[in-house]
Amino acid sequence: MNFNVENPYIEYDGEDIPYSMYEIHGVNKIRELSRQLRTILNYKTATIQYRFRPKFITYPHRLDIKYNQTKENLKHLASKFIKLLSNIKGNGVSYEVELKRLIISLSENKISKSLLTDLKNVTQKLFITVHALSEQEIQLHPKFLKFITNLSHEACKVLKILNSWASVFYEELRINYLQLYDELTLLIPDERAEKTTVRKQRFLEEGIKEW
């Protein structure tokens, strides 16, 4: 058995895989991509709802336990996600470049294997939580909606590299999240001026602290 970053637990030689395992693996992949599509469509709908909201609408203050729990879970996962990217990023090298290098050297480095497995697991859990929030009234929390689209944009970069079989899909998804983030930036301008020299990673870190 060899380690496969797309399935960090088991990989059989091609001729030894029974048809049932091929079928299950294929169904799981289709479900994952389908959920990703539903998520981005939900966020686009939430953005439209926010854009065309009544000008003088006021929302009643209510305690939404489910939303708060999901939000806290996302903050926790986002912190782990950013920390892992920080551990991967090399001196003067983007984490995307370093991530590709680690994948190539997997067979020679057990630390890299563990790091990539952790990153994949956290990113998958992150997207599951992002989906859960998309099915709630996220348009009532526009600044957090904006933060989520920025976070998802970065997470798509990771899955694009880790899932070579779906790299085109995740690149298209990344572009969609980026466009959505740009739209929300126009709708919800930052209260403070942002320096263009500040790294995107700092934006994510500041977003976590804000929420």
Q: What are 108-133's pLDDT values in tens digits?
A: 666 678 888 899 999 999 999 999 99
Half-sphere exposure of 63 (CA within 13 A, CB side): 1
Confidence of residue 205 (pLDDT cuts 50, 70, 90): low
4, β-bridge pairs: 7
Q: What is the pTM of this model?
A: 0.78
Average confidence (pLDDT) over 145-154: 96
d(CA 120, CA 32): 14
- For 105-141, where are the alpha helices, taking DSSP H only? 110-134
